[in-house]
Amino acid sequence: MDVWMYIQREGIELPSLYFAHEREVFARNGSFLAVSECVPMLESEKSEKKTVRFRTIGDITCTGAVESTASNLDEVIAEVAAARQTERGTRADDKRSETAMEDRKREGYF
């Protein structure tokens, strides 16, 4: 929340990906992943168009979206204030294990 409030106070421009937009996605492990050539869908998965926003921006292979109508900074701030899931809660790679982030650090990801 502090970061969002700082962005608002300083008038920092953000990429449109942070705001809600219609996108073709599919559900996997509790997240909506963007349909792309980088993330092959499984036979059991079905794509659909949803209005989503990416709460955190990262690699397309692991960054999940949330259903959202927050199309401006005020709406994003209100959504974050009411959220019961962390900003990284939709990161598919974090769902691999409890120590996923630490594992990636050891592997040189960061």
39-68, pLDDT tens digit by residue? 899 999 999 999 999 877 777 877 888 899
Note the pLDDT of residue 98: 55
pLDDT tens digits for 76-103? 999 988 876 555 545 555 445 556 656 6
Residue length of the chain: 110
Whole-prediction pTM: 0.67
Q: Which helix (H) or strand (E) holds 5?
A: helix 2-10
Note the pLDDT of residue 24: 96
Distance CA 96, CA 85 (A): 17
Q: Which residues contact 35 (CB under 8 A, 6 or more apart)?
A: 23, 24, 25, 26, 41, 47
Distance CA 51, CA 108 (A): 34
Distance CA 67, CA 13 (A): 22
